[in-house]
Amino acid sequence: MFYLIARVVCRLVLAFVRQWEVSGRDNMPAHGGVVIVSNHTSYWDPVIVGCSFDRRVSYMGKAELFNKNPVFTWLIRALGSFPIKRGKSDREALKFAINHLKSDGIIGLFPEGGRSTTGDLQGARRGAAMLAAKAGVPILPVGIKGARGWGRVVVKVGKPIDTVFYSDQKVNKETLDDISRVFMNSIEELLK
């Protein structure tokens, strides 16, 4: 219930304050797990992506976010976020994420690993590709323009990228890099 109320309020702010526009929303699969990948330039990005869809979006966030302020920690957990330790293999968080995806959940990720200060796309880390491949769920690319500052925000949603072929295989780094390259190219096209 809290998530739904927060989404309504944030959608109103985005619509009236940021002149928010979303195209391609119907590319979101109606059911089943999905990994959403998006460029990342602003603190607004998780809100923008979450508000762009009618299905609930959960986020993996760096563990440090969950140790800052008890109110903020409660808020992001109430909105469905969960921590992951960066820089090492956090098996517990990965297992939770894969189970969430296999249970028809949606996880939003920013595969660049951090906000781009220039607005240019950075290289993708392998995590999004690995989660989607292990869970056998599609990757949905999203391009966000105008998130920084207080101007107009434009969101473009691309076509889902199928990864079910990889779900019963052991994928190597090269395969994950190939999957990542495909969705980063899609995000780049959406930003044009």
Tell me, what CATH number does 92's domain have?
A: 3.40.1130.10
Domain residues for the domain of 24 are: 2-190
User: How much is the pLDDT for 170?
Assistant: 81
104 in Cβ contact with 32 (< 8 Å): yes
DSSP strands (E only) in 20-80: 21-23, 34-38, 58-62
Regarding pTM above 0.85, the answer is: yes
CA 118 distance to own-chain centroid: 20
**192 residues of the chain, pLDDT tens digit each:** 899 999 999 999 999 999 999 999 999 999 999 999 999 999 999 999 999 999 999 998 888 889 888 999 999 999 989 998 877 778 899 999 999 999 999 999 999 988 998 889 999 999 999 999 999 999 999 999 999 988 999 999 999 999 987 777 788 999 999 999 999 999 999 999
Stretch (H or E) spanning 187: helix 173-190
Instruction: Look at the chain and report how many structural domains it folds into.
Output: 1
User: Cα separation of 145 and 53, whole Å?
Assistant: 17
For 8-21, b/e burial (b = at least 16 CB within 10 A) is eebbeebeeebebe
Q: In the structure encoding, which two tokens stand for residue 9, read together?
A: 């309020």
Amino acid at 148: R
Closest of 14, 7, 32, 50 to residue 147, by C-alpha = 14
